[in-house]
Structure formats: C-alpha cells, structure tokens
Amino acid sequence: MVAAASVVVAVGTATGVLTALGDDGGGADEARPEVTRSPLPHPSPVAPSPSPSATPSASAPPSVSAPPSASAEKTSPGPSPRRKSGEEKPRTAATVSDRLYRHPRSRVLDWVRAHPGDPRQDVIESRIAGHPAAVWFADFTPATITSRVRAVTAGGAAEGRVPVLVPYAIPDRDCGGHSEGGAPGLDAYDDWIDRFAAGLGSGDVIVVLEPDSVAQADCLSAGERADRFASLARAGRALKDANPRARVYFDAGHSGWHAPAKQAGWLKQAGAASAASSDGVFSNVSNFHATADEVAYARAVLDALGGPASLGAVIDTSRNGNGAPPDGEWCDPAGRKLGRAPTLSTGLGRIDAYLWVKLPGESDGCKGAPGTFTPSYAYDLAR
C-alpha cells in the first residue's frame, strides 16, 4: 500500500509447525510457520501502511497472521519511548467486554504456548494474544475458500461472538508492488468472492473488504479502475446477499493519504454508498495514524460519500498508540505502541468499531522476516 501498504501473509497447511530462530543470545525470537505466499508492504509517495494478515489453510485450522517486507534486520527489545500525553493505554484482554471473536489459532498464540519460560511471554500474552484480531484470506484457492471461511464463522457463532474476516484477493492488488498476488482476473475474483460469501453462515460477521483496493487505485487506468470498482460493488452485494447480518466495509485508506472528497468519489463508484453492498468504510489498516485523526478522517469521508445515515466506519488501532512516525517510515518503525483494544463499543457516532486488523508483532520485514511473528517487536509494542 503505500500510502497504505497492506502486508499479508498466507499461512500454509502446517500452521502449527514452528522453526525457532534466535536473535538474542540463543532465545527463540521468531515463530515462523510455513507460508504459502507473503505479500509485502512497500514505501510510497504518501506515507503508507503495511498490513497484517492471516490466511487459514485448507487442511489445517485457520490462523491469524501478518505482514512481510523486504530485507529484515532483527533487533532486540530496547527501552520503550515515553507515551504521549492524551494517548490511551491499551487495555488488557480482561477488560475487553464485547463480542469480537478471538480465533484460537494464530502465530502469536503459537509462540506464547511454545515459550512459557520466555521473560516476554506474560506481556505478549496479556496485551496481544488475549485480544481478538482479524483473520485474513490472502491466497487464491477457490476449491477450499468456502470451507475455510466457514470454519472461522462457525467458531464465532458457537461462542456467540463476531469474527472479523479480510478477503484479500483482488487482481493486481498491489499494482505490482511487494503485496503482489490475488486472483488471475476479475471473472475469477467474482467467482472466488461468491465462494467466500458461501462460508459466511447466518451469524454476525464483519468483512474488511480488500485493503488497498480503492485507495491504491491510482495505479490503474481509468478503464481498469472502473472494472475493479464494479467488481468490488458486486462483491459487497454478494457478501450481504449470502448473509444479511454481515457488515461489509470498504477501503478508505487512511488520514495521511488521499483527501476525503477524492477517496469518497472512488468509494461511491465501488458501491460503498449503497446499503445493498456496504455498511461503510475502514481506515488505517496496518498503519499508525492516531485514532483521533482517523475518526475525523473517516467521518469526513462518510460525509463526502453520502448514502444512508446508517453507514459507519471501523478503524485499525493495532499499532497506532503513539501515532504515525514523523518521517513517514512504514517498515516496523521504532517507537510505535499498541493502540486501543478491539471493541464494538467506541462511544463515538459513526465509528462502529476499533479493530486489530493487523496482528501486532507480525513484522513488516525490518525487525523480523516479512510476515512472521517477531517477539522482540511485539514486546516493544506492548510494553
């Protein structure tokens, strides 16, 4: 993404298999499940955001997971920067009292279970692993996508909780950048999204539809952009037709990227202003912009978008506790902190939820291998 690079990691069939690689005196610092494909974040003219992801595999339980990037330079935990005044401390899992679903398989949970004696384990478990996070579907596997989605939604329904799903397979999803991949064409994507929708079940579910797909559309020709937006509008309708209780949110980028009017114009073409396909917009996926900035930006986009008064916004608060770095750095920038805990109760009009769309601790590729859970990075974010 550049102004919002979404880093997605596709977890392979052996989601529970880890290889411990030490970076601090022999201690295991990197939990590296086998992966099928790892799209990466990349820099851009506008301060971007790398994004996280988890791709449930066909033969193993789904797993929540995150971002990749180019060269990785490991670092060990150092002193954490002082929290800025006015920033809210992230709440621990015990204080989260709403209905978001925490999937039982994720890279951070795998690491916590495998390292009971690690001195960082308690902090990482209580402040990161204990929170619900999104589950990403980033690989184009039509034959298994329905069953993999159904496994997550059925798990949420069994607990009476709301899963957050991220379909990430739009063709040319990163315009030739590091997060390359997706369906081979829009016809194939339309079929894939129909199969995705067939796994949604009948319970409450949130769908964060295709990070980067609207905000990064500058790289497409006018004709390609129109075709993509038509496909996204169709996707929103397919998801809501399959499960009327599904809440579908479209890509608004983030407050450091496009002006609200420009973003809203594209979103309208993509169907985000229609209740038949949309419940609103999402912002800050995998990025670091402060919650207050994202609230103001999301509301401005919604105002420019028009549409039903019921349209709202969800904001990724997974790593924005200290706001965005002043130099626009996007790859595991130092000094970042966890943001507000995931919740469906924000107390703010038109802001439907704070979500952890990117799983904190999954590296963009500088503090660990791209897309892998890196405990030293997670610990720095959580302290």
* Residues designated as active site: 174, 212, 364
8 Å CB contact between 28 and 372 = no
Ranges of beta strands (E only) in 264-379 are 280-283, 312-316, 351-355
Cα 17 off chain centre by = 23
- Measure the CA–CA gap between 119 and 368, rounded to whole angstroms: 19
Ranges of beta strands (E only) in the chain are 10-11, 20-24, 27-31, 35-37, 135-137, 164-167, 205-208, 246-251, 280-283, 312-316, 351-355
H-helix or E-strand containing 159? helix 142-159
8 Å CB contact between 279 and 312 = yes
8 Å CB contact between 90 and 340 = yes
The strands making up 312-316's β-sheet, listed across from edge to edge, are: 135-137, 164-167, 205-208, 246-251, 280-283, 312-316, 351-355
- Measure the CA–CA gap between 178 and 180, rounded to whole angstroms: 5
